[in-house]
Amino acid sequence: MATYVQTVDLDRLASVDEREALICEVQRGLIARPRSLSPWMFYDAEGSRLFERITTLPEYYPTRTERTILAGNADAIVACAHNDRSLPLRFVELGAGTASKTCLLLEAALRISDDVAYVPVDVCSSALELACQNVACALPEVRMRPIIRNYVTDPLELESFDGTTLALYLGSSIGNFAPDEARQILSDLRAQLQAGDALLLGTDMVKDEPTLLAAYDDSEGVTAAFNLNVLHRLNRELGANFDAACFRHRVLWNRTEARIEMHLESMQEQDVSIEKANIDLHFMRHETIHTENSYKFTDRRIGSLLRETGFEMRGNWKDSQGWCAVTLSTCR
């Protein structure tokens, strides 16, 4: 039975912690040089709404490409993860968003099992609520247990489960983290899994620079609005006085690190205060806030990341252009 109603309660509990996390993050990232903010800060209700629009843009290939891979291979992926069909199957999805692609996997699971549970985890309560509504509508047989949580500041602790767990980490969200952080996140996740459990990891592969740049700097300016929304969020939630019109969205391909970088560039010298974080900032003209990294992968990097964090690769699926990969590994 669908249980998304409980996110209303979880939401109220989460809001105090979320405010504290925001304050800690601006105090850490905006006083330091170069200035930076963590990418989870993008995802308030407006940020999630803008991200959903991004996923439909012609330039933004990752979502539709990953969906194509899952649509063509969901049965094989689930069969590979779930050897003993007499056991219940639990999906735990980190950064589930609105779970727009997850139903493909849940449907495949329901074709081989009548005991399927889904635990979507996300920092954004509005996205999570939509995820639960989507799944409850399409697949009412799936038991749901949504968790509002920031898996970076507050690593996940899973309830024990008498069955197989398939962890999902899709949308190349792992690419938002530097190699050390990515290893930490997967190691924390591995520590919550048992032998026989599995991880399905979605990654965006290294490709030509114009394709990569366009995906993060679309012609309609939706990604620019998504990036600038972090300043609006700080105004709304922490009483800051950023004038977002005085900042501009900047994207670059860092070839050495194999990552797309998103920045907000101050277009003039300006002062900003963030009342609830008790900080005053002075920006020089052209000074930037580094708001996101999106690392791109090679087969070799995927293999070593999984090996180093206690996983063993079982299957790897790509689209016909080799732009994105979905990799299944089991716990060693």
Binding mask 166-195 for ligand SAM (x = CB under 6 A): ----xx-x----------------------
| Under rule CB under 6 A, residue 151 binds ligand SAM | yes
* Cα 306 from chain centre: 18
Q: State the nearest-atom distance from the C-beta of 54 to ligand SAM, in Å.
A: 9
Q: State the nearest-atom distance from the C-beta of 304 to ligand SAM, in Å.
A: 23
- Which positions from 21 through 80 interact with ligand SAM, judged by CB under 6 A? 40, 43, 48, 51, 63
Rounded CA-CA distance 113/102 in Å is 16
| Under rule CB under 6 A, residue 122 binds ligand SAM | yes
- Which positions from 228 through 287 interact with ligand SAM, judged by CB under 6 A? none
Among 36, 126, 150, 327, binds ligand SAM (CB under 6 A): 150
| Under rule CB under 6 A, residue 127 binds ligand SAM | yes
| Under rule CB under 6 A, residue 124 binds ligand SAM | yes
Compute the half-sphere exposure of residue 164: CA atoms within 13 Å on the CB side of its CA.
Answer: 23
Among 30, 92, 96, 225, binds ligand SAM (CB under 6 A): 96
Rounded CA-CA distance 145/165 in Å is 14
160-164 own/partner pairs: CB under 8 Å, 24+ apart: 161/88, 161/90, 161/117, 162/87, 162/88, 163/87, 163/88, 163/89, 163/90, 163/115, 164/81, 164/82, 164/83, 164/84, 164/87, 164/88, 164/89, 164/90, 164/196, 164/197, 164/198
| Helix, strand or coil, per DSSP, at residue 291 | strand
| Under rule CB under 6 A, residue 329 binds ligand SAM | no
When the beta carbons of 266 and 291 are compared against ligand SAM, the nearer one is 291
Spatial neighbors of 239 by CB under 8 A, at least 6 apart, are 274, 275, 276
Taking CB under 6 A as the binding criterion, the range among 7-15, 145-153, 206-214, 284-292 that sits at the site for ligand SAM is 145-153
Closest CA to 26 of 284, 227, 173, 230: 230
| Under rule CB under 6 A, residue 91 binds ligand SAM | no
Residue ranges that bind ligand SAM, judged by CB under 6 A: 40, 43, 48, 51, 63, 95-97, 100, 122-124, 127, 150-152, 170-171, 173
